Amino acid sequence: MPGLGKTTLARKVYSSRKVMRHFHLRAWCSVSQEYEKRRLLLEILTGIHGLTEEIRQMRDEDLQDKLRKLLLRNKYLVVMDDVWGIGAWNDLKNSFPDNANASRILFTSRLHKVASEIKPDSPPLSLSLFSQEESWQLLEKKVFKEECCPNELVGVGKDIAYHCQGLPLAVVAAAGILKTTEKSQNSWKTIADNLSSQIIDNPEARCKEVLNLSYKHLPEYLKSCFLYLGVLNEDRDVLVSKLIRFWIAEGFIPETNKGSEEVAEAFLMDLIDRSLVIISKRRSNGKVRACRLHDLVLDFCKSQTEDENFFQLITRSDNPYASFPNTDYGFEFDFYHHSSPVSFASYRRSLVFFASTDSEPKRPYDISFIWHNFKLLRVLDFECFNLGISFPVEIEILVQLRYLAVGGYLESIPQSIANLRKLKTLIVKGLSRKITLPNTIWRITSLRHLHVSVHVDFDSDAEELGDCSILENLISFSRPSLSCGEDAERIIKRIPNLCKLSCIFYESPDSSMNCNHFPRLNCLTHLESLKIFYYGSPLNNGEFILPLNLKKLTLSNFRLPWSHISTIGRLPNLEVLKLLSGAFVGKIWKVEEEFQNLKFLSLDSLNIAQWNASCDDFPKLERLILQNCKDLEEIPAEFADIYTLEMIEVHCPYQEFEFEFMSTIWITLLVLPATYILGNWCSKDWRFRSLT
C-alpha cells in the first residue's frame, strides 16, 4: 500500500551515518511503474560520479559499461525505489558487479511478488499500518515538534489520528492541515467531523480523503500552485527555480515589493510545511534546489486537475495534431476549463513538452501547428526538442508569452524576438553550435531571467544597443560568453539590478592594449550569487572588483596567486565559496583575511600543498569539501576548534592523505575511489564515515 513509509524508511537507511560509513559509493534511483532504462542508468551514475556532458552523450550499452567499471572493486549501495516488476532489475543487474565485499542493493515495492522474483531466498521487510497510539505520536510530533499537545486538544487530536486508519502519509497530511489552522477545540473538531463523515475501511481511500481535505484547506492562491505540480512525472524531481518561473509566468504570484521570486518561494515552503511537497535536494546554502510529490499525492493532484479541467495530457495515442511527430511527450495545460484540445485550442495558456528519453534529439520537429492553434500562450517550453538550425520566426505572433524555452542546433535568433514584450523568462539551449543573441533582446524590458547554453554568445556592439537599452528587471543571467575588460563591463552596466550571474569570461582579443582585466562588478549592488569560468592567459590585472552584497561565489581557471584572494575574504556577506579547477595557483595558501561569515567552502582541483590558517580565519564555517587537491598535505590543525564545523568531505582518488587535528594525534587515510567524510565530533573526539 502506498503511504506506509517504504521510501521514507529507505531514505533513513540510505542517509544514516552507519550506512554512509560502511559504503564507498551510494546511489539512488526511482523506478516507478513506467521506467526508462537510460534514465535509471543516468540517475545512478549521477549519484556516484556526477553527470558530465560526456556521459550524457553515451549510448545505453556504454552507460552500463561505465557504471560497472565505477562500481568494480568498491563497496556500494544502490537503492531502487518503487519497483513494480522484475523488468527493471533484469535491465540493470549486469551493471552491478558482485565483488563479494558486502555491497548491497535495496528495493522498495508495493508488490510482494516482485521481492520474491528478485530475491527468492530473502523474505522482504513488510511494513504494517500504525497502531492508534503510533498514529497519535506521529501527529503530535509533526504539529508541535518538541512540545507537547495542550491537554484540551489531546482528545480531538487522537480522534483525528484514528480517522487516518494507521496510514503514516495520511497522518502527515492531517498534521499539515492542523499546523495551519487555529489550535482550538472548535477548529480541530471541525476537521475531525469532516474526516468521520464517511466510514471508509480502506486506509488508502482514507488517505485520499485526508488529501482532499488538505486541498480544500489550501488558500485559493495556493491551489493553482499545487495543481501545477501535477505536471511532474512521479519518477523525477522538479527544479524549484523552473517551477517558480512557471508560476510567475502563469500569473499565480502577486506583484509585491518583496519580489515575485521571494513570494513564490514562500508559497512553495508553505506547501512543504503542509506536507504536500517533499524536499529532494538542497543547495549549498541550505535552500531547496529540487522537490517532488509522493506518488499518492501526485495521483490525487492529477485526479484533481482532471476533475477541474486544469490541464490535459497529450500522448502518442491521442495526438490531435497530425503535423506533430508521433512520440510521447508533453502536457498541455488548460486554465479555462475547456476539455477539447482542438475546438478550444486558441484559449490554451501553456504548452510544456517532455521528451520520452534523455537522449539527444535525432531530427528537427515540425511545430508549426502551434502558431495556428495556440495564439494566447503564456508558457511555451520545448527546450528538450531539436528545432533545427532556424529559430521559428512565427513565435513573434505569440505576444502573450511570459516563458519561452527553446533548444536544438540553432544558428541564429531573429531580431523580431523583441516583439515578445511581456516575456519574463527566455531559455536558449544550443546543441554543439554557437549562436548569437540579437541586440534587440535589450528591448524586452520585462525580462527577469535570461539563460543561454555555453554555445551561445552575445553581440555586444554598443552602437547598436542604444543608450536606453537597459534591462532593469533582469535578476538572473546565466551562461553568456563575455570578453574580459570593457566589453563585459558595457554589458554589465545594462543589468543594474542583477541578483544572480553565471558566465564565461574569455581573454579579450584586444589584450595587447591592456583591456584584459577582471570586469568591475561593484556596480551590481544587488548581486548575491556569482559564478565565473575563465578561458585565456592570466589577466593583466588580477584584482577582483566585487559587490559587497555577494553571498555566493564560484571561480574557475583564473590561475591567480593566493595573495589575490584577500579581496574575497573582505566580502562581509559571503557565505558560500567554491574554488574550482585552477581558480588560484600556488603551493602555499596563507590566509591573511578573515572570512567572517563563510559557512561553505569547496576546494576542487587546486595545486595547493600547504594551507596555513587558524580557526579565527573561518569562525562560522559549517562544511568543508576538498576534491582532487592531490598535493595538499594536511588540513589546518586549528580547524578542530571551529565548533560550527559539521562536516569535512574529502574526495581524493588513489592518494594517501593526512589530517592533523590535534598536536598529539595523526590520522592517515588511504583514499581509494571513494569519498571519506570526517565529522560529528564532540570534545575533539573524531569519528570517520564514508560517503559518495
Do 162 and 247 fall within a single domain?
no
Q: What CA–CA distance (Å, rounded) separates 667 from 663?
A: 11
In a domain, 150, yes or no: yes
Q: Residues 159, 111: one domain?
A: no
Grid cell at residue 163:
480517522
Q: Distance (Å, rounded) from C-alpha 491 to C-alpha 470?
A: 9
What are the start-end ranges of the E strands in 340-493?
350-352, 379-382, 403-408, 425-430, 435-437, 449-452, 456-458, 476-483
The answer as to whether 234 is a domain residue is yes
Which sign does the torsion angle of CA 196, 197, 198, 204 carry? Answer: negative
The total domain count for the chain is 5
Residues 589 and 664 reside in one and the same domain: yes
Q: Which residue has the higher pLDDT, 658 or 184?
A: 184
Banded model confidence at residue 630, pLDDT cuts 50, 70, 90: confident
Looking at per-residue pLDDT, the higher value among 552 and 685 belongs to 552
Residue 484 CA to residue 94 CA, distance in Å, equals: 49
Mean pLDDT of 672-691: 35
pLDDT band at 373 (very low <50, low <70, confident <90, very high): confident
The predicted pLDDT at position 389 comes to: 75
Least confident window among 324-333, 483-492, 525-534, 560-569: 324-333
- Cβ neighbours of residue 428 under 8 Å, at least 6 residues apart? 405, 406, 407, 410, 413, 435, 437, 451, 452, 453, 456
Final residue before a domain boundary, out of 216, 243, 262: 216
Q: For residues 225 and 204, state if they share a domain.
A: no
Query: Is there a domain that residue 462 lies in?
Result: no
Which of 180, 200, 216 is the C-terminal boundary of a domain?
A: 216
Nearest CA to 473 out of 504, 506, 499 is that of 499
Based on the fold, state whether residues 432 and 314 are members of the same structural domain: yes
3-class secondary-structure state, position 62 = helix
On whether the CB atoms of residues 75 and 67 are closer than 8 A, the answer is no
Which residues make beta-bridge pairs with 665?
662
| Nine-digit cell string for 561 | 596567486
CA distance 552 to 573: 9
Tell me, what CATH number does 252's domain have? Answer: 1.10.10.10
- Which secondary structure element, helix H or strand E, spans residue 243, and what is its range? helix 240-250
Q: Residue 485's pLDDT is what?
A: 66
At position 481, the amino acid (one-letter code) is S
Kindly state whether residue 421 falls inside one of the protein's structural domains.
Answer: yes
Q: What is the mean pLDDT of the chain?
A: 81
Residue 663, pLDDT > 60, answer: no
385 near 365, Cβ under 8 Å? yes
Higher pLDDT, 201 or 551: 551
* Strand-strand pairing, 552-556 and 584-585: unpaired
The stretch 150-166 carries a mean pLDDT of: 92
Q: C-alpha distances in angstroms, 346 versus 318, 335, 397? A: 18, 12, 13
Asked if 199 and 296 sit in the same domain, the reply is no
Quick one: pLDDT at residue 601?
95
* 188-193 own/partner pairs: CB under 8 Å, 24+ apart: 188/153, 188/156, 188/157, 188/160, 189/156, 191/160, 192/156, 192/159, 192/160, 192/163
**CA atoms within 13 Å, Cβ hemisphere of 355:** 16
Q: How confident is the model at residue 130 (pLDDT cuts 50, 70, 90)?
A: very high
456 pLDDT band (50/70/90 cuts)?
low
484 burial type by CB count under 10 A (0-12 exposed, 13-18 middle, 19+ buried): buried
Query: Is 495 a domain residue?
Result: no
Question: Collapsing DSSP states into helix, strand and coil, what is residue 304?
Answer: helix
**More reliable by pLDDT, 493 or 598:** 598
92 CB-contact burial (10 Å; exposed 0-12 / middle 13-18 / buried 19+): buried
Rounded CA separation 100/90 (Å): 20
- Please indicate, yes or no, whether residues 175 and 106 belong to a single structural domain of this protein: no
| Residues of the chain above pLDDT 90, percent | 39
14 touches 26 (CB < 8 A): yes
Q: Are 646 and 623 in contact (CB under 8 A)?
A: yes
Q: What is the pLDDT of residue 315?
A: 58
Cα angle 12, 18, 22; round to 5: 115
Same domain (yes/no): 243, 210? no
For 601, the grid coordinates are 567552502
In angstroms, rounded to a whole number, what is the distance separating the alpha carbons of residues 521 and 583?
Answer: 18
Q: Measure the CA–CA gap between 167 and 298, rounded to whole angstroms.
A: 17
User: Residue 578: how many CA atoms within 13 Å on its side-chain side?
Assistant: 15
Q: Is the pLDDT of residue 327 over 50?
A: no
Most confident of 98-102, 315-319, 340-344, 648-652: 98-102
* Residues forming beta bridges with residue 554, ordered by sequence position: 531, 578
Lowest mean pLDDT among 135-144, 304-313, 414-423: 304-313
Residue 665 structural domain: 568-692
- CA 563-569-570 angle, 5° bins: 115
Region 15-27 average pLDDT: 89
Write phi, then psi, for 9 (nearest 5 degrees).
Answer: -65, -45
pTM of the model: 0.81
Same domain assignment for residues 259 and 373: no
Residues 203/209/210/212 CA torsion (nearest 10 deg): 150
Q: Which among 272, 306, 340 is the end of a domain?
A: 306
Return the pLDDT at 481. 73
Residue 568 reports pLDDT greater than 70: yes
| C-alpha cell read off for 485 | 575588460
In a domain, 362, yes or no: yes
3-class state of residue 600 by DSSP:
strand
Residues 233 and 333 in one domain: no
- Comparing 194-198, 586-590, 687-691, the range with the smallest average pLDDT is 687-691
> Residue 66 sits in a domain of what CATH number?
3.40.50.300
Residue 105 and residue 28: Cα distance in Å, rounded?
10
511 in a domain, yes or no?
no
**Whether the predicted pLDDT of 111 surpasses 60:** yes
**Residues 112 and 145 occupy one common structural domain:** no
Share of the chain above pLDDT 70, in %: 81
Pairwise pLDDT comparison (438 vs 135), residue with the higher score: 135
Are 62 and 150 found together in one domain?
Answer: no
The C-alpha atoms of residue 337 and residue 76 are separated, in whole angstroms, by 50
pLDDT at 64 > cutoff 70: yes
In a domain, residue 77? The reply is: yes
pLDDT mean over 548-575: 92
- Angle at 317 (CA atoms; ends 316, 322), nearest 5 degrees: 70
Residue of 298, 289, 431, 303 whose CA lies nearest to 360 = 431
